[in-house]
Amino acid sequence: MQADELRDASRERLLAEIGALQHQYNISNQHQLLSRVRELEMALLQSRDYSMGLAAVVGELHVEISALQQTHARVKKKLDQTLASRTWRVGRVAMLPFRIIKRFLKTK
């Protein structure tokens, strides 16, 4: 009987050590998992902040594009008015001989 009792005692001691090791591993693993969750939460917050910053930049660019389109439309209208003006057309006709001579001299 003593041998059986010794075996049972050894078995119980081994089972207790296994249980303690499992508990320690679970606690350590939980700490690692919680640490990883905190890292991921921080990365998520940084990504969110970065995307919000980019959204603000995109909004500013849309405003700038709109302003540039309006400026372009005004400048184009002014150019069209200038090219259609009598003064421009008369000046163009008056300068035609000089442009022809200039072109002729460039080719030689």
| Three-state helix/strand/coil letters over 6-75 | HHHHHHHHHHHHHHHHHHHHHHHHHHHHHHHHHHHHHHHHHHHHHHHHHHHHHHHHHHHHHHHHHHHHHH
Domain count, the chain: 1
- Whether the pTM exceeds 0.75: the reply is no
Domain region containing 25 = 2-107
pLDDT, tens digit, 9 for 90 and up, residues 68-85: 999 999 999 999 999 999
pLDDT score for 2: 63
